Amino acid sequence: MDDKKYWIGFNLIKGIGAVRMQGLVAYFGDLESAWNADSDSLAEAGLGAKVIERVLAARETVSLDKVWQKIEAQGIKILTWGDEGYPARLKEIDQPPPVLYIRGEYLPDDLFAVAVVGTRKVTAYGRQVTEEIASFLAANGMTVISGLARGVDVIAHQTALKAGGRTIGVLGCGVDKIYPPEHRGLAEQMMERGAIISDYAVGTPPDASNFPPRNRIISGLSLAVVVIEAAETSGALITAEFAAEQGREVFAVPGSILAPQSKGTNRLIQKGAQPLLTPADLMQALDLTRVGAQKSARRILPADEIEARVLSVLGSEPLHVDEIRNQADLPIEKISATLALMELKGMVRQVGGMNYVAMREAQSDYDV
């Protein structure tokens, strides 16, 4: 359990999110000390009077041991920022959730994931496209991520499972409160070959205000977001906005200018999203032909000091192999061999003319 029960305790308190949690850890060193601190110390750590009142009230009314026992009894796993298993891609976003509640398993291979989202009022056209995209992703070893909502979301999850792939649902409620309730059977299947994830505490009901913020996790876990159908005010557009802010690829399926469900996707394309015309568009943009090799390489080829040195000089701007050699101060044959392995592992990408960039997850995992 370590100090995870204290992370859960603060996660239960309204007004304490990523920024305040970070401040508490920075000030006290650990959340157990913060949980037991007096009001003056909590104020010095940056909490306001109302939030301090809530902390003191929670200490009097909440038994963290009982909360932890309830979580364990339901088979719920807890990941916090400091855990090795915390999704590396999610760590990249601004203010990643301090606590994740998981039913099922989040695996290292789930780093290779694409979000498929869209309207609840899906058309026959939208259903067909969703099935084609989700089955294509699953066949290419990609995890399909969505929100377990009616419409496009549930079709994406179901199709990924039918195709033998993995799928993850991100909820706008506690992981013990599957919503909508008719998707409980599907959720159980997803836990066998994927996971149900939320940053909301166990017992949190599916309040409407919870769903827009959870979309940042859907996009944050993904390499790219595909919007199948979306009205002009669809929640899927919020996911697309988060994806753009997070530096993720955004694809939108074009549709009839007369169809309400295509107004949002057509608008996304007008604003710069990539039009998704065939699954091959994903293949090319995300280099899906190499996902299997990248997964295998990640398992069998560990990072070493040379890889770390190469990554220390690489960033998002292309750098020529000669300049990499100069900055890393290594022989060219070492650089060439290392770059070849790192490209196979999905840590770097050659962008033409012997120029390389570091992939975002590699920078996160191997930065020195």
Encode pLDDT of 11-34 as tens digits.
999 889 899 999 999 999 999 999
Last residue of a domain, one of 261, 289, 317: 289
Q: What is the mean pLDDT of residues 205-222?
A: 92
End-to-end alpha carbon distance in the chain: 29
Of residues 312 and 290, the one with the higher pLDDT is: 312
What integer pLDDT is reported at residue 3 of this predicted model? 84
Rounded (10°) angle between helices 332-344 and 291-300: 120
- The beta strand positions in 83-191, using DSSP E, are 99-104, 113-117, 143-146, 167-170
Residue type, 329: D
Cα–Cα dist 151/139, whole Å? 22
Q: How many domains does the chain have?
A: 3
User: What CATH number is attached to the domain comprising 136?
Assistant: 3.40.50.450
pLDDT at 363 over 50: no
Over the chain, what is the mean pLDDT? 88
Q: Which tens digit of pLDDT belongs to each residue from 137-163?
A: 998 889 999 999 999 999 999 999 999
pLDDT at 35 over 90: yes
What integer pLDDT is reported at residue 36 of this predicted model? 92
What percent of the chain has pLDDT above 90? Answer: 66
SS3 content of the chain, % helix, strand, coil (to 5): 50, 15, 35
Token pair for residue 189? 């299947």
Are 235 and 208 contacting, i.e. CB atoms less than 8 angstroms apart? no
Handedness of CA 35, 37, 39, 43 (dihedral sign): negative
What integer pLDDT is reported at residue 302 of this predicted model? 47
DSSP structure class, residue 83: -
Q: Are residues 21 and 66 in the same domain?
A: yes
Spell out the residues 6+ positions from residue 188 whose beta carbon is closer than 8 angstroms to its own.
none
Q: Are residues 57 and 128 in the same domain?
A: no
Cα–Cα dist 311/256, whole Å? 45
User: What CATH number is attached to the domain comprising 1?
Assistant: 1.10.150
Of residues 295 and 23, the one with the higher pLDDT is: 23
- Burial of 216-240, coded b for 16+ CB within 10 Å and e otherwise, reads bbbbbbbbbbbbbbbbeebbbbbbb
Cα–Cα dist 135/287, whole Å? 17
Q: Which tens digit of pLDDT belongs to each residue from 238-263?
A: 999 999 999 898 999 999 999 999 99
Residue showing tokens 């293949």: 283
Q: Is residue 83 part of a domain?
A: no
pLDDT at 9 over 80: yes
pLDDT at 366 over 60: no
What integer pLDDT is reported at residue 147 of this predicted model? 96
Q: Are residues 171 and 216 in the same domain?
A: yes
What integer pLDDT is reported at residue 102 of this predicted model? 97
Token pair for residue 135? 């089955």
Host domain of residue 325: 301-366
Q: Is residue 147 part of a domain?
A: yes
The neighbour count for residue 93, using CB atoms within 10 Å, is 19
pLDDT at 368 over 50: no
Q: What is the mean pLDDT of residues 154-182?
A: 95
Are 211 and 235 contacting, i.e. CB atoms less than 8 angstroms apart? yes
Of residues 242 and 2, the one with the higher pLDDT is: 242
Residue 294's pLDDT band (cuts 50, 70, 90)? low
Q: Is residue 347 part of a domain?
A: yes
Residue 362's pLDDT band (cuts 50, 70, 90)? very low
Cα–Cα dist 66/147, whole Å? 29
Q: Which residues sit opposite 275 in a β-bridge?
A: 252
Q: Which of 58, 107, 99, 117 is nearest to 273 (CA)?
A: 117
Residue 365's pLDDT band (cuts 50, 70, 90)? very low
Residue 24 vs residues 41, 44, 118, 323: alpha-carbon distances, Å:
10, 10, 37, 42
Q: Are residues 56 and 201 in the same domain?
A: no
What integer pLDDT is reported at residue 367 of this predicted model? 42
